[in-house]
């Protein structure tokens, strides 16, 4: 899928008002839409602020997505770098898959995902929601890395939890919405993907490094590049 197919628009889903403000800056727009209210960004993009977490992300995406209007959905914002990823703060990551981290069961023999329990999450194996190849190709033009991004409900504030997220998902970064956004898009037949700027490290909270303002500035710059090439 190429950008601008059928003169449709991309729907950008962000969780937090600060992320929305960064995206809006790229389009020279000041006021940010209220949660779950779709906002036009120029001729090629729409934005919706979902709120934090999978339930908000899925609901806002399903409410805002218009099959006659949109040909792409992108979950966007900031993320934490997972151990072993070698990601630097400010790195831009495009998801090759959006992976649910916690949906399943802990057993004495290890973690089983919902599919292994006999209750698949969707029309895909395991817990990794596939992204659209065309959207990934588009987002990769502005990305430093391509890799799996974990979608978590509990962020990794300990070394042990960060390690488990990596073991379960094979991800290089974690955020809280991507898999839900892309799964809704997939169910509705619209191409989906995820783009994140690394704002922090994960692991033991006291040793984490955070640079949110710098990451949001880079997020604005990324959408400036995408808008000029859309």
- In this prediction, residue 192 carries a pLDDT of 98
Confidence of residue 2 (pLDDT cuts 50, 70, 90): very low
- Top pLDDT among 214 and 118 is at 214
Q: Give the CATH number for residue 77.
A: 3.40.50.1580
Into how many domains does the chain fold? Answer: 1
Helix axes 54-64, 178-187, angle to 10 degrees: 30
Mention every residue, 6+ apart, whose C-beta is less than 8 A from residue 158: 203, 204, 205
Q: Which of 98-112, 136-150, 174-188 has the lowest mean pLDDT?
A: 98-112
For 59-110, what is each residue's pLDDT tens digit? 999 999 999 999 999 999 999 999 999 999 999 999 999 999 999 998 998 8
Range of the domain at 132: 5-229
- In this prediction, residue 115 carries a pLDDT of 87
Which residue from 83, 79, 99, 101 is spatially nearest to 91, judged by alpha carbons? 79
- In this prediction, residue 230 carries a pLDDT of 55
CB-CB neighbours of 18 under 10 Å: 17
- In this prediction, residue 76 carries a pLDDT of 98
- In this prediction, residue 185 carries a pLDDT of 98
Residue 111, burial from CB neighbour count under 10 angstroms (0-12, 13-18, 19+):
middle
- In this prediction, residue 6 carries a pLDDT of 65
Supply the pTM of this predicted model.
Answer: 0.94
Measured at the CA of 113, the angle between CA 155 and CA 201, to 5 degrees, comes to 20
Residue with tokens 């990823």: 85
Mean pLDDT of all residues in 211-217: 98
- In this prediction, residue 98 carries a pLDDT of 98
- In this prediction, residue 97 carries a pLDDT of 98
For 7-60, what is each residue's pLDDT tens digit? 899 999 999 999 999 999 999 998 777 899 999 999 999 999 999 999 999 999
Confidence of residue 191 (pLDDT cuts 50, 70, 90): very high
Mean pLDDT of all residues in 135-148: 98
- Summary count for the chain: helices (H), strands (E): 6, 11
Confidence of residue 1 (pLDDT cuts 50, 70, 90): very low
pLDDT at 199 over 80: yes
- In this prediction, residue 5 carries a pLDDT of 52
């Amino acid at each position: 899928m190429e950008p601008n197919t059928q003169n449709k628009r991309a729907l950008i889903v962000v969780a937090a008002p600060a992320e929305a403000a960064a995206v809006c800056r790229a389009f020279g727009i000041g006021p940010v839409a209220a949660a779950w209210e779709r906002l036009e960004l120029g001729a090629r993009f729409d934005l919706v602020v979902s709120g934090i977490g999978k339930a908000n992300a899925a609901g806002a995406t399903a409410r805002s997505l218009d099959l006659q209007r949109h040909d792409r959905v992108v979950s966007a914002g900031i993320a934490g770098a997972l151990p072993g990823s070698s990601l630097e703060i400010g790195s831009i990551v495009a998801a090759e898959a959006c992976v649910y981290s916690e949906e399943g069961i802990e057993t004495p023999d290890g973690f089983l995902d919902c599919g292994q329990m006999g209750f698949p999450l969707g029309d895909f194996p395991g817990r990794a929601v596939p992204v659209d190849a065309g959207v990934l190709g588009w987002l990769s033009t502005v990305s430093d890395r391509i890799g799996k991004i974990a979608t978590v409900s509990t962020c990794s504030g300990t070394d042990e939890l960060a390690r488990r997220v990596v073991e379960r998902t094979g991800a290089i970064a974690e955020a809280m919405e991507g898999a839900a956004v892309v799964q809704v898009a997939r169910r509705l037949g619209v191409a989906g993907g995820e783009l994140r700027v690394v704002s922090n490290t994960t692991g033991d909270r006291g040793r984490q490094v955070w640079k949110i303002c710098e990451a949001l500035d880079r997020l604005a710059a990324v959408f400036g590049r995408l808008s000029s090439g859309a």
